[in-house]
Amino acid sequence: MKSKSKDFLEAEQRFLTGENFYAQHLLGVHKEEDVFIFRVWAPNARQVWLVGTFNNWDDSLPMTLRKESGIWEVATPLPAEGDMYKFKVRQADGREILKIDPFAVRFEDRPGTAAVLHTVPEKKWKDGLWRGRQRRSKTLQRPLNIYEVHASSWKQHEDGRPYSFGDLKEELIPYVKELGYTHIEFMPLMEHPLGMSWGYQLTGYFALSSYYGTPAELRDFVEECHLNNIGVFVDWVPGHFCINDDTLPYYDGTPTFEYADPIRAKNNRWGTICFDLGKPQVQSFLISSALFWIEMYHIDGIRVDAVSSVLYLDYDEGPWTPNHEGGNRNYEGFYFLQKLNSVIKLAHPATIMMAEESSSETKITGLIESGSLGFDYKWNMGWMNDVLRFYEMDPYFRKDNFRLLTFSFMYMMNENYILAFSHDEVVHGKKSLMHKMWGDRYKQFANLRNMYTYMMTHPGKKLLFMGSEFGQFLEWKYDEQLEWMNLEDEKNLKMQHFTSTLNQLYKEERALWELEGQQETIEIIDADNLDDTVLTFIRKGKAKKDFLIVVLNLTPVERHDFSIGVPYAGTYQEIFNTEMEEFGGTWTRHNDTSQTIEKPFKQFDYQIQTIVPSLGALILRPEKIQLRVKKSGKATTLKGGKVETSPK
Residues classed as catalytic: 305, 356
- The candidate with the shortest Cα–Cα distance to 155, out of 132, 142, 174, 139, is 174
Q: Which helix (H) or strand (E) holds 385?
A: helix 381-392
Task: Find the angle CA(65)-CA(69)-CA(73) to the nearest 5 degrees.
Answer: 35
- The candidate with the shortest Cα–Cα distance to 192, out of 211, 169, 170, is 211
Question: Coil, helix or strand for 59?
Answer: coil
For residue 424, give the DSSP letter: G
- Strand segments (E) across 376-480: 377-379, 417-421, 461-465
- The candidate with the shortest Cα–Cα distance to 53, out of 90, 89, 88, 80, is 80
Residues 6 or more apart whose CB falls under 8 angstroms from that of 428 comprise 475
CA distance 540 to 125: 38
Residue 63 near residue 95, CB atoms below 8 Å: no
Pairing label, strands 377-379, 352-355: parallel
Q: Which helix (H) or strand (E) holds 148?
A: strand 145-149
CA distance 290 to 24: 11
Residues 6 or more apart whose CB falls under 8 angstroms from that of 468 comprise 421, 426, 432, 433, 434
Task: Give the HSE-up count for residue 235: Cα atoms under 13 Å, Cβ half-sphere.
Answer: 26
CA distance 555 to 438: 11
Residue 597 backbone dihedrals phi, psi, to 5 degrees? -115, 135
Amino acid present at 220: D
Q: Give the gyration radius of the chain's Cα atoms.
A: 28
Chain centre distance of CA 8:
36
Question: Coil, helix or strand for 582?
Answer: helix
Question: Coil, helix or strand for 404?
Answer: helix
Residue 371 near residue 363, CB atoms below 8 Å: yes
Task: Give the HSE-up count for residue 385: Cα atoms under 13 Å, Cβ half-sphere.
Answer: 6
* Residue 423 CB neighbours (<10 A): 21
